[in-house]
Structure 1
Amino acid sequence: MSVDRTHQFPGIPLALGSALLFGASPPLSKLLMDSIDPWLLAGILYLGAGVGLVLVHLGRRWIGLEGVEAPLRISDLPWLLAVVVFGGLLGPLLLMFGLSMTTAASGSLLLNLEGLATMAIAWIVFRENVDRRLLLGAIAILAGAALLSWNGQGIALDNGSLLVALACLAWGIDNNLTRKLSSTDPVQIAMIKGLAAGATNLILALGLGTPVPSPAAIGAGAILGFLSVGVSLVLFMLALRHLGTARTGAYFSLAPFIGAMLSIILLREPLTLQIAFASLLMGAGLWLHLTERHEHLHVHEAFEHEHAHVHDVHHQHDHDSPATEPHSHRHRHELLTHKHPHYPDLHHRHTHD
């Protein structure tokens, strides 16, 4: 009997694409640290993301795609400020200093803690459903992270690893707060976040007397930031719409594997047994997440909201005139009860017994 996988698209590919781009950031940032101070690099990465997305935003307007996504509202501004602080200022700053004190491979694999922090906050604070399979996967990932920190006698986090872990916590908070903005324009959100956070870290670093790197190094950092931060964040926000916070964070756990493999290939860092076994544990956890299936009879209460959509089973409303798809406008959902495979996306944030 065939298994319906339509609920996995486009959410899972978007989350994995985000992970692939972000995963390249630690080893490539480690290379740039030979010529750029960590604090300044954090600013360049996010400012590069912001400037690149400004060009994307202008390009969308030029080809007539403006209005497809829901715009930011005044009520969104407190959430936007919070994600800029946690995700744009604290997270990258802690990661860059952490990477400067530890190997890129270990730092990359420790980034799996971001997925765990994201899922734990979503489960405990926001009451998002997490079933047994997802929990077992999280335990496997945590075991892999613990193995990376094992020194033969116990778990010991050096200063670099501790800073990477704190960066993961900051991003875990950021990811859950970003859920509040996931129905709005992801390019606009990521653009503002990159410009605000990048400019702040850049000004602070230069104000402390950090030497200015060469134009080539600045350009390389800006391009890396646009792809691994800007585009990755846009894909992550789109995935949030379809998967919810906990599952997007779980699939995003592929990022550390990409980073670790690039570290070994590009930086010639050793592939130790510790890293190999940690990778196996984390890979098993990711497999458990990817093979999860959630299906039950559920009720959609009547409510109104605004986001980009097409007229699928959850969007059966009329228009006064013909409309192209996708499009965005405020629309009403009537009471609906049905059963199908789903994730806690924009339309499935119901409670469970």
Structure 2
Amino acid sequence: MVQPTAVWLALAAAALFGGSTPLIKLLLGDATPLTLAGLLYLGSGLGLAATRLLRDHDWRPSGLSRADWRWFTGAIGFGGVLGPFLLVWGLTKTGAGAASLLLNLEAVLTAALAWIVFREHADRRIVFGMGLIVTGGIALSWPEAGASAGNWSGPLAILGACLCWAIDNNLTRKVSASDALFIAGIKGLTAGTVNLGLAFVLGHSLLPWSLAAATMLVGWLGYGVSLVFFVRALRELGTSRTGAYFSTAPFVGAALSIALLGEATPPSFWLAAALMGFGVWLHLTEHHAHAHEHEALHHAHTHVHDEHHQHEHDFPWDESKPHDHPHAHRPMRHFHPHFPDIHHRHRH
């Protein structure tokens, strides 16, 4: 069964990320997209690196294998460099409320890649739910009668950011058994350094210290802590299901946009919200169970001894607390409700 903790982690990740969108809109001012994206991710990386040092009282190795580093590098490039830049640039051309709901398309693109490229299982209920979310995104971004074609530039940039994060999500799934703080922290430090470096080379102006600090704080919570929760949820829920929970983020952003920025809410906004909300509900109420086989597997991640973890230890353990060490899974066949977590990535 899916652990309730994983669901709450995914929802918390969505709330933190969704809430950051209107705050970024408020912080935009005269900052360029590169500068703002760099500060957001640098704040994320520095905050998470400090958190990891406080947790471990030292700098522990990542535990990533050579193959894992290839997946992780790709995730950083798409999700940590290209995605934030496109989002921030798109926000300069799009209202924060509309942008927040458009971010639901990240879940659609994440799921499509998971199903088509990475062969994650999906049934008709999940596909129909994603179809509703796509329809809501189209209704939201469709230009009003007589509007110029230039109005598409903002939504298209945000769509590009969603595609980048969809690729990132699927690549991160490959390394989700590793330390989530390390994954999110290194991504933030790398992306922040690259974006700020490009901004400096291109002669973009820097922000005052007070505004830079506020931006980095938003990045730590909305991009850093949010990503840690997201990676933890990936282990238990799989990519497309975690993406479905995460697609509640735009509703948080839209609500804050209305409250903080006083943005108008045309009928298309509420139509899109209804379609997207129903699509998300279909995902959250999915039930999946069948007889399945587990192949032999050797990996390391935090776990307790449940039906899938029955092994001996060569170190003291009180048989109750979660612990982390390399362990082997024996082949087995059984039946129970499950999602495509790190132990259930099988064919159907």
Q: TM-score range by the shorter chain?
A: over 0.9
Question: Which residue of structure 2 lines up, in the alignment, with residue 150 of structure 1?
Answer: 142
Question: Which residue of structure 1 lines up, in the alignment, with residue 340 of structure 2?
Answer: 344
Question: Which residue of structure 2 lines up, in the alignment, with residue 259 of structure 1?
Answer: 253
| Aligned mates of 1:309, 1:203 — CA distance in 2 | 39
Q: Quick one: which amino acid aligns to residue 128 of structure 2?
A: L
Q: Which runs of 5 or more structure 1 residues have no equivalent in the other structure?
A: 1-5
User: Identity of paired residues, percent?
Assistant: 52
Task: Determine if the alignment matches structure 1 residue 318 to structure 2 residue 312.
Answer: yes
TM-superposed CA distance for 1:323, in Å, is 1.9
| Aligned mates of 2:243, 2:12 — CA distance in 1 | 13
Asked if the contact 1:86/1:174 (under 8 Å) is kept, the reply is yes
| Aligned mates of 1:39, 1:139 — CA distance in 2 | 33
Alignment match of 1:212 (pick from 194, 206, 211): 206
Asked if the contact 1:70/1:307 (under 8 Å) is kept, the reply is no
Cα shift readout 1:204-254 (whole Å, capped 9, x = no counterpart): 112211112111100100100000000010001000000000111111100
TM value normalised by structure 2: 0.95
Question: Which residue of structure 2 lines up, in the alignment, with residue 71 of structure 1?
Answer: 63
Alignment match of 2:26 (pick from 20, 24, 31): 31
TM-superposed CA distance for 1:180, in Å, is 0.8
Question: Which residue of structure 1 lines up, in the alignment, with residue 39 of structure 2?
Answer: 44
TM value normalised by structure 1: 0.94
Give the direction of change, closer, same or farther, for the CA distance of 1:219–1:229 in structure 2 (3 Å limit): same
Alignment match of 2:223 (pick from 214, 223, 229): 229
Alignment match of 1:165 (pick from 127, 149, 159): 159
Cα shift readout 1:77-135 (whole Å, capped 9, x = no counterpart): 21121111000000000000000111111111110110000000000001100111111
Q: Quick one: which amino acid aligns to residue 253 of structure 2?
A: G
Cα shift readout 1:174-193 (whole Å, capped 9, x = no counterpart): 00000111010110011110
- Give secondary structure in 2 for the equivalent of 1:285: helix
TM-superposed CA distance for 1:154, in Å, is 11
| Aligned mates of 1:17, 1:218 — CA distance in 2 | 25
| Aligned mates of 1:276, 1:341 — CA distance in 2 | 35
Alignment of 1:30-179 (within 5 A): 30-62=25-57, 71-151=63-143, 158-179=152-173
How large is the Cα RMSD of the aligned pairs? 1.8
Give the direction of change, closer, same or farther, for the CA distance of 1:243–1:70 in structure 2 (3 Å limit): farther
Q: Quick one: which amino acid aligns to residue 339 of structure 2?
A: Y
Cα shift readout 1:13-53 (whole Å, capped 9, x = no counterpart): 11111100000121100000014222100000000000000
